Amino acid sequence: YQVTGVFMKNWDSLDEHGVCTADRDCEDAYRVCQILDIPFHQVSYVKEYWNDVFSDFLSEYEKGRTPNPDIVCNKHIKFSCFFHYAVDNLGADAVATGHYARTSLEDEEVFQQKHIKRPEGLFRNRFEVRNAVKLLQAADSFKDQTFFLSQVSQDALRRTLFPLGGLTKHFVKKIAAENRLHHVLQKKESMGICFVGKRNFENFILQYLQPRPGKFISIEDNRVLGTHKGWFLYTLGQRARIGGLREPWYVVEKDGTKGDVFVVSRAGLLGR
């Protein structure tokens, strides 16, 4: 294929050393393109990410829910903003990403999609259902990312290739080594939420949301075990770190009106 590399910057942030991590990642991507001798472009969706992903993330947390920003990012940024940039501005026939996933289309079928005229108006939805592209699990079930791609539009899926879908992570690393991409192999695997990074999650969220102090209460006997800075910071099933208590306690219920978080001990959990 005639390939072009594109780097997306979605968040402005500094690491603990005051270095912008996006700039470092961009430099790594540029070096890959140099080694492979392919064109390199970079685009910024910082504004779109803030409006469509991060604002939604904060709003959901404030309501006491636990959102997944990766799903929203894939839906609105990678497979909408970036997808249309690649197709409309770069003239791409298809987009390829490093997600561990597959679709029901063969690569050849993906490149034929641009020739399919989609009906306008009333019959569009019927067409979408009749010609639905399936999102399929990756061969490497441990790395499978289809959950995070679950809200990507049919239009984007039709013109997307997932080259890693049939490979294991171990084999991908082997290919990277054979192609002299050692600087990428040395990077630690990215886990968790990109815009939080290595920072304490609670401290990060409280930079944007007002603290709402409340109590940790044992659901077994209604004892007050400690205090917290906001009921919205906790997810059902999460371990609650309560000062002065060695035994692990887990969140089982939240009262948004009073701001209390109800917890159960491990012994109590097994007993229930």
Say how many C-beta atoms besides its own lie within 10 A of residue 162's C-beta. Answer: 25
- CA neighbor of 228 nearest in space, from 246, 244, 218, 240: 240
d(CA 114, CA 152): 18
| Consecutive H or E run containing 218 | strand 214-218
Sequence-distant (≥ 6) Cβ neighbours of residue 237 within 8 angstroms: 250, 251, 252
Residues serving a catalytic function are: 73, 194
Q: Are 94 and 158 in contact (CB under 8 A)?
A: no
- CA neighbor of 78 nearest in space, from 132, 129, 23, 151: 151
